[in-house]
């Protein structure tokens, strides 16, 4: 499937800058709120932006590489946590409730028969990817299906609610391994610097993870295309998130990017369609080793650095009030010309 993602039109930039600079404050005194407001104005092509019906879409799937002992989380945690999310009470639940997000749960490839009636969208491609140490994690056909199904989720949200700002989260034991591989392949940063503790590996566990991933890299038998590398080492939930991000950008939605795994997803998405980055706001720099390096490679700064490593979209949702403040600033602050205040800078 293909996407038509246009770079953000910057013709409005001068007018946006003029409006922000003439609000009743010293020029630049609201720092990154000003930068954020300008970005959202350009995404929405208006001087009066608005945020409508925020959603956090959480894709879940299992990873075959977990058989190599690269994670402290057993595989069954994926479906157990997905069920937990559906009932409320998890980390992402209280954050979505606090900040007015609708949480959307998607089974992309969980190795379990999720019963109907729990509010979990069934987009399952297969019960777990294959072990990428020995073969491609997914076929080319499965890769394309993931892109399509991720885009379908965004179409449904956008068409049914008018949502124009979306964040993404994930659940899948072993997915930091896939993210590390994507990071290495799409940035050129040495693999060792791309690998961290994941859900809580100790130093010996990290060394073992590096050995497994290095061996997997040496066995890669695909071609040099972005799609082949994504399919060989990726997760169903990750490629589905890429498809969702690409569709969101195509529809002109604001994308809030979460931590290490979702940053690796938008990194991969940008290697397919560079303009997707025009629609992204990076919410949180996580605690996973390598995330800071990946953000620097993309030339971006996250809004928050709270040492989170939960995933689920938690850092992105935490960042939402800052984005909302930027929009309120440009819409609700007076300008010097509208009030009896001398322009004092």
Q: What is the pLDDT at residue 345?
A: 64
Which CATH number goes with the domain that contains 159?
A: 3.40.50.10210
Q: Looking at the domain assignment, is residue 344 inside a domain?
A: no
Smallest CA-to-CA distance from 180 within 293, 39, 99 is with 293
Domain that holds residue 80: 55-321
- Count of alpha carbons within 13 angstroms of residue 284, beta-carbon side: 27
Q: Looking at the domain assignment, is residue 45 inside a domain?
A: no
The pTM of the full predicted model, rounded to 2 decimals, is 0.95
Mean pLDDT in each 10-residue stretch from start to end of the chain (345 residues)?
A: 95 97 94 98 98 98 94 88 93 97 98 92 97 97 98 98 97 94 97 83 89 96 97 98 98 97 97 98 89 96 93 96 98 90 70
Q: Where are the beta strands (DSSP E) in 62-187?
A: 102-109, 120-122, 165-171
Q: At what angle do helices 226-233 and 175-187 cross, to 10 degrees?
A: 160
Q: What is the pLDDT at residue 199?
A: 65
Residue 96 backbone dihedrals phi, psi, to 5 degrees: -65, -40
Q: What DSSP string describes 123-134? A: ---SSS---TTT
Q: Looking at the domain assignment, is residue 32 inside a domain?
A: no
Q: What is the pLDDT at residue 203?
A: 87
Cβ atoms 62, 89 nearer than 8 A: no
Q: Looking at the domain assignment, is residue 46 inside a domain?
A: no
How many domains is the chain built from?
1
- Count of alpha carbons within 13 angstroms of residue 263, beta-carbon side: 35
Q: What is the pLDDT at residue 32?
A: 97
Q: Looking at the domain assignment, is residue 333 inside a domain?
A: no
Q: What is the pLDDT at residue 288?
A: 79
Q: Looking at the domain assignment, is residue 161 inside a domain?
A: yes
Catalytic status, residue 312: yes
183/325 Cα distance (integer angstroms): 32
Q: What is the pLDDT at residue 138?
A: 98
Whole-number CA gyration radius for the chain:
20
Residue 119 backbone dihedrals phi, psi, to 5 degrees: 75, 15
Judged by DSSP in three states, 269 sits in helix
Q: What is the pLDDT at residue 201?
A: 82
Q: Looking at the domain assignment, is residue 72 inside a domain?
A: yes
Q: Looking at the domain assignment, is residue 25 inside a domain?
A: no
The catalytic residue among 142, 296, 312, 324 is: 312
């Amino acid at each position: 499937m293909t996407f038509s993602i246009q770079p953000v039109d910057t013709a409005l930039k001068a007018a946006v800058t003029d409006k922000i600079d003439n609000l009743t404050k010293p020029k630049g005194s609201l720092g990154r709120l000003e930068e954020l407001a300008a970005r959202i104005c350009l995404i929405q092509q208006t001087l009066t932006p608005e945020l409508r019906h925020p959603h956090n879409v959480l894709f879940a799937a299992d990873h075959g590489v977990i058989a190599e002992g690269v994670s402290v989380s057993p595989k069954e945690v994926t479906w157990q946590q997905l069920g937990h999310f559906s009932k409320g009470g998890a980390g992402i639940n209280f954050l979505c409730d606090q900040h007015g997000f609708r949480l959307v749960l998607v089974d992309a490839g969980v190795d379990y028969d999720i019963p109907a009636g729990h509010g979990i969208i069934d987009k399952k491609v297969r019960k777990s990817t294959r072990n990428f140490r020995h073969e491609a994690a997914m076929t080319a056909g499965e890769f394309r299906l993931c892109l399509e199904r991720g885009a379908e989720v965004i179409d449904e949200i956008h068409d049914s609610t008018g949502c124009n700002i979306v964040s993404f989260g994930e659940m899948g034991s072993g997915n930091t391994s896939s993210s590390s591989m994507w990071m290495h392949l799409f940035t050129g940063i040495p693999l060792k610097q791309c690998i961290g503790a994941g859900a809580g590996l100790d130093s010996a566990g990290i060394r073992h993870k590096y050995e497994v991933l290095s061996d997997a890299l040496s066995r890669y038998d695909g071609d040099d295309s972005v799609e082949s590398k994504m399919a060989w080492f990726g997760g169903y939930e990750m490629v589905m998130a890429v498809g969702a991000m690409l569709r969101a950008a195509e529809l002109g939605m604001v994308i809030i990017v979460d931590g290490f795994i979702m940053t690796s997803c938008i990194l991969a998405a940008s290697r397919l369609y560079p303009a997707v980055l025009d629609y992204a706001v990076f919410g949180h720099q996580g605690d996973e080793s390598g995330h800071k390096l990946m953000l620097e490679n993309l030339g971006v700064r996250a809004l928050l650095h709270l040492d989170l490593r939960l995933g689920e979209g938690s850092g992105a949702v935490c960042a939402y009030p800052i984005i909302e403040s930027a929009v309120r600033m440009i819409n609700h602050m007076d300008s010097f010309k509208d009030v009896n205040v001398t322009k004092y800078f």
